[in-house]
Amino acid sequence: MSFFGRSTHTLDDLFVHGLKTIYYAERQITETLPKMIAMATDRNLRAGLEQHLTETESQRVRLEQVFRQHGVEAAETTCPAIDGIIKAAKATASDIDDKHVLDAALTFSAQLVEHYEIAQYGTLIAWARELGRQDCVALLAETLAEEKATDDKLTHIAEARINHKAETQAA
């Protein structure tokens, strides 16, 4: 059995497979973010996660457009990477009692998700360019820009408040 499946023989096949895995990942993120929002105590973190949830819902719609433009039906393929990131986040959060340390852990987990998404979308854009699919590039690039902005926002929130509060709590 091949790593990507029996039907992956061309770059186009790989591109479609990548679309399916990120489509699955975005659904998993949409299902997980409300739980993270409920656990977050820092108002800026909550607001950032809420904004990301709204963006993620729009990103799924945008992915459906990419599927249509590429002439394939929108479908999901299980993504063990996002499943692992979410599982690790849940395990970490379940072991934390202090709210400030929990906010730091939630920020960390959200950034792991962002970094995964940035890698996925960056690769999909490169493949779409190679395939001559500028229409797909434009939509994927819009999402990539949102993912990078969310990562920057999370970094700012962590460095401006959350990490300091978590460190102060530990002292």
Rounded Cα gap, residues 129 and 93, in angstroms: 39
pLDDT digits (tens, 9 = 90+) for 92-134: 998 899 999 999 999 999 999 999 999 999 999 999 999 999 9
pLDDT digits (tens, 9 = 90+) for 23-68: 999 999 999 999 999 999 999 999 999 999 999 999 999 999 999 9
6 within a domain of the structure (yes/no): no
Both structure tokens of 38: 């409920």
Q: How confident is the model at residue 150 (pLDDT cuts 50, 70, 90)?
A: very high
148 within a domain of the structure (yes/no): yes
31 within a domain of the structure (yes/no): yes
| Cβ atoms of residues 57 and 30 within 8 Å | yes
5 within a domain of the structure (yes/no): no
Q: Is the pLDDT of residue 169 over 80?
A: no
2 within a domain of the structure (yes/no): no
pLDDT recorded at residue 7: 73
Q: How confident is the model at residue 1 (pLDDT cuts 50, 70, 90)?
A: very low
39 within a domain of the structure (yes/no): yes
Q: How confident is the model at residue 170 (pLDDT cuts 50, 70, 90)?
A: low
Number of domains the chain contains: 1
What is the domain range of residue 153?
11-170
